[in-house]
């Protein structure tokens, strides 16, 4: 009957159309940019940050696990509406012009085409495109195809690598670096670096060492995040006896406690806490590290967390929670401390650079007058912090290794990093920017930048995820009253040792 013929003709029509479309394969031109206005309160310091407590507190606001799952930087869509752009190099106008003479170029292959992959939401992707535009100014003959991976970055990258189809240059985080260096998938960058007049020591040690093996460099740090204090200026002003923390970070744990106590107000449903002390390892560990604690032994084979220094930090951290000075986000019906801060239920919070766009974007509807300051020094007088960082790496078997290295060195080089700094998107991983004009009016970024010199990267070998979860689980048990601080530390120690044994 007619029906079969109808099905058949429909099918053939669709198949013809399908063939037609597929025949005209994409000839993606070089990364072009939308005319994005990223200068406005741009996106966050983009790193695999233990961002918001995506799912809940019991496992310790373990932001991290989710964050490392996608290793996605936490950058909400900053910019204002993006007007449609021409798909052309003219759109790169927003990227600013690069003083090409300042870029020490390296020798590259002719006719090179590179594929470049990274994670990132839409605003980070815009920022990346602008960086690629700048790259094109410095190396006009290299064609770059940008293939953002919006989600499940690790799954996709690992799948691609196992078939040899990964991009030439891509983002890596410390666990990925471990895996890829040991399976020899990454390009060694030392020679290219010297050609580009870059030295390993140009970068902060803790950041670049994570991506190096000895002196061999396999990844150049892209940006980093850490934990600092964000405080609500209105609440501080209204509170009696509250003094804003010093911009140079010269305050102690006792000052911190006093500051937090002075900001507490109200009771019950309308209580405003001094701060939020989540049962999340990433919020407590900075203090422990500042006090000299270590998570792993020097050889990385055993747990070292169950120490007097760590206990002192945990006692103090938990103590503020127990006496009601510090709360946790779920007590004020927030998903994470940043949300609590936005809703003005906490005088200050200890968070990272992702707070900046979160608070600044007026479309989010938070109207908080805030500023930032570094974490206090420990009773020993030393500073410490937790760093979250990622790098650019090139694949070892790229068809255009020199061009790939050129891309990596340019993106992490001084010219590009300074340009990125000025957009407010991230702070540099290179030393020497302490007195940059940008930091004069940007307390948060300044405080963040300073942490690179004394921070420790949040990485513990192949079992990192499990180690992190173990610490947060133990803190949860502590907060639920199942163990005391000594018991919690013992639980961490046992769990970490088990994790390390399971590799």
Partner 1 sequence: MAVKSLPPQRQGMKRKTRENVAGWLFLTPYLISLIVFTFGAIAYAVYISFTDLKLFGEANYVGFGTYGRVLDPAAPLNKFWKALGNTVIFSVVVVFFQTWLAILFAVVLNSKIRGQRFFRIAWYLPSVTASVVISLIFFWMYKQQGVINYALGAIINNTLGLVGVHFEPVAWLDNTTTALPAIMTMNIFTTIPTFMVMFLAGLQDIPTDVYEAAKIDGASARRMFWSITLPLLRPVIFLVTVLGTIGTLQVFDQIYVMTNEGGPLDSTLTVAYLIWFEAFKRNNLARSAAISFILFVVIFVFFLVQRRFLDRNATD
Partner 2 sequence: MATQAKTLTNSSVVGEQAAQSGPLYIVGQVVKYGLLILMTLILLGPFVLAFFGSFKTVNEVLASPPTLWPQNWQPENYSRVWNAQQASGDDFITQFFKAIGLGTSLFPRWLFNSVFLAAIHVVLQLFLCSLAAYAFARLDFKGKNLVFTLMLATLMIPGVALLMPRYFIINQINLVNTYWAVILPSAVGAGGIFLLTQFFRSIPKDLEEAAAIDGAGLFTTYSRVILPLARPALATLAVLEFQGSWNDFQNPLIFLNTPDYFPLTVGLSALKDNYTSQVNLILAASMFNTIPAILIFAFFSRYFVEGSTYAGVKG
Q: How far is the CB of 106 from partner 2 (least distance, A)?
A: 26
Determine the Cα angle at 474 with ends 469 and 480, to 5°.
125
Choose from partner 1, partner 2, none: what does 56 bind? Cβ within 5-8 Å by kind.
partner 1
- Take residue 393 and report the two structure tokens written for it: 């790496």
- Take residue 500 and report the two structure tokens written for it: 């390390």
**Which 181-240 residues touch partner 1, going by CB under 8 A?**
183, 185
- φ/ψ of 83, rounded to 5, equals -70, 150
Helix (H, G, I), strand (E, B) or coil at 265: strand
Choose from partner 1, partner 2, none: what does 51 bind? Cβ within 5-8 Å by kind.
partner 2
Helix (H, G, I), strand (E, B) or coil at 343: coil
Pairing of strands 348-351, 228-232: antiparallel
CB burial of 466-490 (b: ≥16 within 10 Å; e: otherwise) equals: bbbbbbbbbbbbbbeeebebeebbe
Choose from partner 2, partner 1, none: what does 502 bind? Cβ within 5-8 Å by kind.
partner 1
CA atoms within 13 A on the CB side of 83: 5
349 binds partner 2 (CB under 8 A): no
**Which 126-165 residues touch partner 1, going by CB under 8 A?**
154-155, 158, 161-162
Choose from partner 2, partner 1, none: what does 327 bind? Cβ within 5-8 Å by kind.
none
- In angstroms, the CA 203 to CA 199 distance is 8
Residue nearer to partner 1 on the CB measure, 326 or 499: 499
Choose from partner 1, partner 2, none: what does 364 bind? Cβ within 5-8 Å by kind.
partner 2
70 binds partner 2 (CB under 8 A): yes
Binding-site member from 35, 39, 41, 54 for partner 1 (CB under 8 A): 54
| Burial category of 89 from C-beta neighbours within 10 Å (exposed 0-12, middle 13-18, buried 19 and up) | middle
**Which 309-348 residues touch partner 2, going by CB under 8 A?**
333-336, 338-339, 342-343
What's the gap between Cα 364 and its chain centre? 21
Binding-site member from 139, 171, 354, 425 for partner 2 (CB under 8 A): 354
Residue nearer to partner 1 on the CB measure, 223 or 339: 339
107 binds partner 2 (CB under 8 A): no
| Burial category of 392 from C-beta neighbours within 10 Å (exposed 0-12, middle 13-18, buried 19 and up) | buried
- Part of the chain binding partner 1 (CB under 8 A), chosen from 29-37, 65-73, 250-258, 288-296: 65-73
**Which 470-489 residues touch partner 1, going by CB under 8 A?**
473, 476
- Contacting positions for partner 1 (CB under 8 A): 54-59, 62, 65-66, 69, 154-155, 158, 161-162, 179-180, 183, 185, 330, 333, 335, 462, 465-466, 469, 473, 476, 498-499, 501-502
């Amino acid at each position: 009957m007619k029906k079969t013929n109808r099905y058949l003709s429909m099918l053939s029509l669709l198949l013809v159309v399908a063939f037609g479309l597929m025949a005209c394969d994409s000839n993606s031109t070089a990364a072009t940019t939308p005319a994005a206005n990223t200068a406005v309160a741009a996106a966050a310091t983009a790193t695999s940050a233990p961002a918001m407590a995506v799912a809940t507190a019991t496992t310790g606001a373990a932001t991290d696990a989710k964050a490392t799952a996608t290793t996605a930087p936490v950058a909400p869509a900053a910019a204002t509406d993006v007007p449609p752009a021409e798909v052309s190099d003219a759109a790169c106008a927003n990227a600013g012009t690069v003083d090409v003479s300042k870029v020490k170029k390296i020798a590259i292959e002719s006719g090179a085409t590179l594929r470049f992959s990274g994670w990132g939401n839409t605003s980070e992707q815009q920022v990346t495109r602008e960086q690629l535009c700048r790259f094109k100014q410095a190396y006009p003959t290299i064609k770059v195809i940008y293939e953002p991976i919006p989600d499940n970055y690790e799954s996709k990258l690992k799948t691609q690598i196992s078939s040899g189809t990964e991009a030439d240059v891509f983002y890596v985080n410390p666990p990925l670096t471990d895996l890829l260096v040991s399976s020899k998938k990454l390009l060694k960058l030392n020679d290219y670096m010297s050609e580009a007049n870059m030295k390993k020591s140009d970068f902060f040690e803790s950041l670049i060492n994570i991506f190096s093996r000895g002196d061999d460099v396999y990844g150049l740090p892209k940006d980093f995040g850490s934990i600092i204090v964000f405080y609500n200026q209105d609440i501080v002003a209204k509170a009696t006896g509250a003094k804003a923390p010093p911009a140079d970070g010269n305050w102690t744990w006792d000052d911190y406690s006093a500051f937090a106590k002075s900001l507490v107000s109200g009771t019950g449903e309308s209580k405003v806490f001094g701060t939020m002390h989540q049962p999340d390892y990433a919020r407590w560990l900075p203090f422990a590290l500042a006090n000299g604690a270590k998570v792993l032994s020097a050889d990385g084979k055993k747990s070292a967390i169950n120490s007097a220094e760590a206990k002192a930090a945990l006692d103090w951290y938990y103590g503020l929670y127990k006496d009601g000075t510090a709360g946790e986000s779920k007590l004020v019906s927030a998903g994470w401390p940043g949300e609590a801060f936005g809703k003005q239920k906490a005088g200050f919070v200890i968070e990272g650079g992702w707070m900046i766009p979160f608070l600044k974007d007026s479309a989010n509807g938070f109207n908080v007058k805030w500023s930032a300051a570094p974490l206090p020094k420990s009773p020993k007088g030393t500073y410490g912090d937790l760093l979250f960082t990622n790098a650019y790496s090139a694949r070892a078997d790229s068809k255009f290794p020199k061009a790939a290295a050129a891309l990596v060195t340019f993106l992490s080089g001084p010219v590009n990093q300074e340009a990125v700094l000025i957009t407010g998107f991230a702070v540099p991983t290179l030393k020497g920017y302490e007195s940059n004009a940008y930091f004069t009016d940007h307390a948060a970024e300044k405080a963040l930048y300073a942490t690179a010199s004394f921070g420790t990267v949040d990485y513990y070998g192949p079992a990192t995820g499990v180690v992190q979860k173990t610490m947060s689980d133990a803190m949860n048990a502590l907060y639920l009253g199942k163990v005391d601080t000594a018991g919690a530390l013992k639980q961490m120690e046992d769990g970490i040792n088990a994790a390390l044994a399971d590799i």
